[in-house]
Structure 1
Amino acid sequence: MKSTRRLVIIVVVVVIALLLLASPVYGHHPYAAFDNNKTIKIEGKVVQYLFANPHPRLQVEDGQKQRWDIEWPARGILPLRMRGIRQDSLRYGDTR
C-alpha cells in the first residue's frame, strides 16, 4: 500500500515538473505578430548577417535610414540550407 502511494506521488511530481518546464518553451515562440500570408519585398544593403541556430538573422538598411531586422523561423538554419541558403550566401555590404 505504501509503495503504491509513493509511486503515485512520484508520478504526480514528475508530471507537474514536466508541465512547468514545457511552459516557457511553448511561450518563447509566439507567431501572433506575424502575417504569414503577407509578403514584403525589401531592397537595401546588408549590415548584419548571422547564420546560426536557433535564430538566423539579417539586418538590411533600405536607403532611407530605416533598418529592417529580419529573423528567420525558430527551426534554425536547416530549412535555409534545404532552400540553398548558406553562410556565405550574403555578406556585409551586399545589395539586393
Structure 2
Amino acid sequence: MAGCIIAGIALTSPAHHAATMFDREQTVELSGEIVEFQWTSPHVWIQINVENESGELVEWSVEGSVPNRLYRAGWRPTTFQPGDRVTIHAAPMRNGAPAALFIGAKLSDGSTLGRFEELSGD
C-alpha cells in the first residue's frame, strides 16, 4: 500500500510543477476587468474579462505563484478586487486556450506587481 502511495506522489509531483502547458517564449497583454481573485493553495488565480478582436468579452484564467511567496512580496488576498481595471503580462497556453501564467501587472493606480516593467517598455 505504501509503495502505491509513494509511486502516485512521484508520478504526479513533476507534472504539477512543470508548467509545460504555458509558452514562456511568448507574452500576452491582457487589459480588462477583474472578475475574481482566488487566494488558494497551491497557486493563486486571477480571472479577468478581456475584450477580444471581435469586441466580445472573454474570461481569462491567469495562474500565479504560491500564496506565501506572494505574501512576502507584498500581495494580499485583497490585492485584486472584482471590478478593478488592470493590465497583466502573462505567458499564454500553448493550445490557445484563454489561460496564462502570470508575469506582471499594472494596477489602475499605476502601481505594478511582478515583472511588469521588464516587458512594458515604460
Task: Kindly state the Cα deviation for residue 93 of structure 1 after the two structures are TM-superposed.
Answer: 0.7
Q: Distance in 1 between matches of 2:40 and 2:62?
A: 13
Structure 1 residues 95 and 30 mapped into 2: Cα distance closer, same or farther (>3 Å)?
same
Task: Quote the RMSD (CA, aligned, Å).
Answer: 2.4
Task: Kindly state the Cα deviation for residue 24 of structure 1 after the two structures are TM-superposed.
Answer: 2.3
Q: Structure 1: which 4+ aligned runs deviate by more than 3 Å?
A: 13-17
Any gaps of 5 or more consecutive residues in structure 1? 1-12
TM-score (norm 1): 0.67
Aligned pair count? 82
Any gaps of 5 or more consecutive residues in structure 2? 87-122
Q: Distance in 2 between matches of 1:65 and 1:16?
A: 45
Task: Kindly state the Cα deviation for residue 28 of structure 1 after the two structures are TM-superposed.
Answer: 3.3
Q: 1 or 2, which has the higher strand percentage? A: 2
Quote the residue 1:92 is aligned against: 82
TM-score (norm 2): 0.55
